[in-house]
Amino acid sequence: MENKKTVSKPNRRAKNKVGILRSHASIALHASDSVLLWHGRKDKTQGLPGFFSRTVELETAASKDDPYADHGLLLIESTMNEAFLTLNRLSTGLAKTEGRRRVTGSDCASLAPVEKPLFVSSRFGWRMVALIEEFDLFMVDLLDAQFKARVNRKAFEQQREAALHCIRSVLEKCQVTHHSGISRNDVSANNPKAISAKEKFGRIPLEVMEGVVRAEFAPEIKTRS
């Protein structure tokens, strides 16, 4: 008698499970300052890849109810919001210097932009992508304005430094943030883990510690231990 092979039926739950969302993305940088910011300054300010990695760690910890990670994201978000405002102010001011002109032309762009693939898996990482894009657009416009004698050398250096400073501030703020490995339940219990974290990382605002105030783009808290 022949042995019949039993064919297992596919698991209905596995069959209907949707995979994670994924996309391929890249950014074209047209200003040399944008490329320098991307790579960072050795032994000083981290570049964007470091920012992406760190914000993934912070968001993961924040989703596990780590108050120190939440505090870090709040600080980063505040600094990023200031940077967006600074670039907007600089761009608006630059546009006003142009005035009415009879000359027409296309947007200024690099003949050989530097293409950077984007491997970003955090909300704050994508916010940084938007920020560096705004910076790159502004710097190209500023360089174009200087070349066409609409902005003098002093004004160029002042605006360039202001734009660079606001981006570096975000990168530097990210570097000093940390996650603690504790949860808000540990804080409530005031257990040894919480006491150790407070001694190591210091105190943070009560409203953040209790989860009343969180960053606008902070992840949903998935773990309430």
pLDDT tens-digit map of 162-174: 999 999 999 999 9
Cα–Cα distance between 55 and 15 in angstroms, integer? Answer: 33
Cα–Cα distance between 184 and 223 in angstroms, integer? Answer: 10
Higher-confidence position of 74 and 102: 74
Confidence of residue 106 (pLDDT cuts 50, 70, 90): confident
Averaged pLDDT for residues 90-105: 81
**Which residue has 């108050």 as its token pair?**
67
CA-to-CA dists, residue 171 to 75, 131, 177, angstroms: 11, 11, 10
Write 147-150 long-range contacts (CB < 8 A, 24+). 150/97, 150/98
Cα–Cα distance between 176 and 58 in angstroms, integer? Answer: 12
pLDDT tens profile 115-126: 999 999 999 999
pLDDT at 224 over 70: no
Averaged pLDDT for residues 124-146: 96
pLDDT tens profile 44-61: 889 999 999 999 999 999
**Sign of the four-CA dihedral 12, 13, 14, 16:** positive
Cα–Cα distance between 200 and 179 in angstroms, integer? Answer: 11
Q: Which helix (H) or strand (E) holds 27?
A: strand 25-29
In this prediction the pTM is 0.87
Domain ranges of the chain: 30-95+120-209
